[in-house]
Amino acid sequence: MALTGKARVETDEEVAEIAPGTIVTIPPDVPHRFVNATPKKTALLVQNLYQEET
């Protein structure tokens, strides 16, 4: 989730620009990166969730 500023979320198949309040879900095992889309500082909240195999 973007907290401040703007960022781009890039995968092999998609590029999306996010702004404050935008939530992005990326499936497991999908290579991705976050890129600051402006010269100003950007703050992101990143949470990695996984389910343990039983």
pLDDT at 44 (0 to 100): 95
What residue numbers bound the domain in which 34 lies? 2-44
Would residue 16 count as lying in a domain? Answer: yes
Q: Exposure of 42 by Cβ count < 10 A (0-12 exposed, 13-18 middle, 19+ buried)?
A: buried
- Look up the pTM and report it: 0.77
- Summarize pLDDT for 5-53 with one digit per residue, the tens: 999 999 999 999 999 999 999 988 899 999 999 999 999 999 988 777 7
Indicate whether 53 belongs to any domain: no
Q: How many domains does the chain have?
A: 1
